[in-house]
Each structure stands twice: as C-alpha cells, then as structure tokens.
C-alpha cells in the first residue's frame, strides 16, 4: 500500500528535486505523510460535503464580525460550565455541556467549507479519546475476518469524532488511546482532552473559572437558540423546500430576537468592565479544562524501542513496514472518510495490494 502511494506521488509530481525526495523518503516519513493527508481529507474535505441548504446558506451569508465570535463565545460558555460541573461532581450536567460543545464544533465544521474563509475551526480531533469507550476488536474466528472484510485486531466499532451523539462523554477525562500514537505524537496531547485548545478564526475559546455552586442546570448560550443548530442536523435528502423556507423565516426572527440583544449587551458589559482584559480574550489558551490524569500516554516508548533496532537488518525493516500498514488500516477504520471510500481502501489493504 505504501509503495502504491509512493508511485502515485511520483506520477503526480513534476518537480525533479521533489521526485528525488519522494523516491528516497524513509518509509516511516511516507507513512506520516499518508496519515496527515487522510486526516486533512477527513476533516477539511469530507466535513460539509453533504451539508444541507441551511448550512450552506448560513456559511455564505454569515456576518464575519459577529457569528464566528458568537460561536467561539458559545464554545467557551459550555466548556466553562463543563469544567465547573466536573469540579462539582455533577456528571449528568457535565455530559450535557460536553454534548452541546460537540454539537457546536460539528455544526461549525460543516459550515466552514461554505463560509468563503469567514469561519475557521481548529480543534484537536476527539477520535483518540473516544476510542477508549469502544475497544472491542475482531478475533480470527469472526465471520467478517473469515470473509476478508476485516483483520484480526481491527476495532469492531468506528469512532464518530465530532459527530458523536452519545450521552456519556467521560472518555474525554482519560488519556487518548494508544492506537492513535502517530497522531498523538504530532499534536502532542497525551493526557485528558484539551478542550481549551479549541480556536475559532485563530482565537482560543475563553474558559472561565466558575464556582460549581453557581450552576443552575443546563444553561444555554444565545447561539444555541440559532435556527442553524436544529436545521443543521437534518440530512439534505430529507429536507423539503418548506423546511428551507422555515429556516429563512426563523433566522430573520432570530436576528431581531432578545437572544441577539442579550449577547451584545453582555459583550458590551464585559468590555466596559475590563477593556484590556476583554481585548486580550482568545489571545492565549485558558487553563486546562481537565485535571491531569497522572497516567498520561507514554509517547516515547515506541520511539525508544525503534532506536535499538539495527537498521541494517532487512527482516526488521519488513516487520516495521507491516506494522505501518496495520497502523494505517486502524487509522482508516477510525476516520471520518465516507464509508464507500473507507471500504475500498480497506479492501485493497486486506487483499495485499
């Protein structure tokens, strides 16, 4: 599979210097390039491809001076309350705010592709943390393995990433799963999920320190009431012209609603109370949302082992290549790539091509 990818790169490349670099690139570097390309395809290209009319319209018509800041403020609102709920040992409330955090990021990522550059969402993929809750694997006796559709050790259940809609988000409090080691090494987050690292248009979300006693159930943010949060969930093929017309009318009503007034009044009050502090919001990451687990994933273990492997031994090189393909297969299974493309890639891997 890696040789096929190398050949494809060589065919597409016209620069002679770059061709030489690709031709003689170490296999581990080529593998990293494959992983990075797939992540970009899954996150930047696939997300939003099937967006319905409401999502597309919101993206193209959004106010670049208002909506990105509202989304960032909403994410900070839920991250703040999620953190406080965890500190107050209120799991159900923490889960409800985490769920809305996921909804907001998922919606924003769908919109991003249709925003003409007005919206940029940067959030560490939660796949590696979600994998902690889905660890069942196929064994050699499973019918799917016998049919050649899966390999022993493949995970039975795919992770959903930002599309995850379950109620339990406790996996965010654990270190990421070691099956995502290459990805973890790249972004460097090997403990509980770094929610505070989320950025909108280059600015970090603001996570305030809130007294858990101030929590009064699930408190919505003004943007949670925006019609896109409901209309954006519906599959494009299931929407009617009447649905799209209803979105338009509800959006017009929202723009003149008390929710917008409340949002702007709150921003004005914060700016008036602390002009410098308000201007600095988002310039750096807030304190971590999660406490350190004390059991962070050791990302140096495999690297140390590799350093001890004699490079001149051909057998070891072959084993290393095999492991790269296994990691590659696991990454494909866990990605957000469309199912038909995913099945095609896995079929090629399993057939030995």
SS3 label, residue 137 = strand
Percent of the chain with pLDDT over 70: 71
Residue 265 domain-assigned (yes or no): yes
Longest CA–CA separation in the chain, Å: 71
Residue 26 domain-assigned (yes or no): no
> By the 8 A CB rule, do 28 and 347 touch?
no
pLDDT digits (tens, 9 = 90+) for 327-342: 555 555 555 555 555 5
Residue 256 domain-assigned (yes or no): yes
How many domains is the chain built from?
A: 1
SS3 label, residue 203 = strand
Rounded to whole angstroms, the Cα distance separating 125 from 288 reads 16
User: Token pair 């170490």 is at which residue?
Assistant: 26
Residue 260 domain-assigned (yes or no): yes
322, pLDDT greater than 50: no
Q: Tell me which of 22-31, 168-177, 236-245 is least confident.
A: 22-31
Supply the pTM of this predicted model. Answer: 0.75
Residue 167 structural domain: 52-298
Residue 23 domain-assigned (yes or no): no
Output the DSSP codes for 258-291: HHHHHHHHHHHHHHHH-HHHHHHTTSSPPSPSSP
Residue 274 domain-assigned (yes or no): yes
Provide mean pLDDT across the span 193-206: 98
Give the per-residue pLDDT at 321.
37
Residue 91 domain-assigned (yes or no): yes
Residue 248 domain-assigned (yes or no): yes
């Amino acid at each position: 599979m890696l040789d096929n990818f190398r050949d494809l790169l060589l065919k597409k490349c016209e620069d002679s210097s770059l061709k030489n670099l690709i031709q003689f690139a170490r296999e581990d570097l080529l593998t990293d390039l494959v992983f990075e390309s797939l992540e970009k395809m899954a996150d930047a290209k696939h997300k939003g491809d099937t967006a319905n009319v409401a999502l597309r319209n919101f993206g193209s018509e959004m106010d670049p001076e208002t909506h990105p800041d509202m989304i960032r403020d909403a994410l900070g609102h839920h991250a703040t309350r999620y953190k406080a709920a965890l500190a107050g040992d209120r799991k159900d409330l923490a889960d409800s705010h985490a769920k809305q955090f996921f909804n907001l990021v998922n919606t924003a990522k769908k919109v991003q592709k249709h925003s003409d550059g007005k919206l940029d969402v940067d959030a560490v993929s939660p796949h590696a943390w979600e994998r902690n809750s889905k660890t069942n694997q196929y064994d050699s006796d499973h019918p799917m393995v016998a049919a050649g559709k899966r390999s022993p050790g493949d995970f039975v259940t795919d992770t959903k990433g930002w599309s995850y809609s379950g109620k339990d988000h406790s996996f965010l409090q654990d270190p990421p799963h070691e099956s995502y080691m290459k990805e973890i090494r790249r972004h460097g987050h090997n403990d509980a999920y770094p929610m505070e690292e989320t950025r909108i248009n280059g600015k970090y979300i603001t996570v305030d320190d809130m007294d858990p006693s101030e929590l009064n159930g699930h408190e919505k943010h003004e943007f949670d009431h925006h019609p896109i949060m409901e209309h954006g969930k519906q599959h494009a093929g299931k929407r009617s012209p009447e649905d799209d017309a209803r979105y338009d009318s509800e959006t017009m009503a929202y723009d003149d609603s008390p929710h917008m007034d409340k949002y702007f009044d709150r921003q004005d009050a914060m700016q008036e109370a602390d002009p410098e502090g308000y201007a600095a919001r988002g310039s750096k990451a807030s304190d971590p949302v999660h406490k350190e687990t004390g059991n962070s994933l050791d990302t140096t273990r495999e690297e140390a082992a590799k350093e001890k492997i004699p490079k001149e031994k051909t057998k070891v090189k072959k084993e290393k290549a095999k492991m790269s393909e296994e990691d590659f297969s696991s990454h494909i299974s866990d990605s957000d790539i469309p199912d038909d493309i995913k099945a095609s890639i896995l079929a090629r891997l399993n057939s030995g091509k």
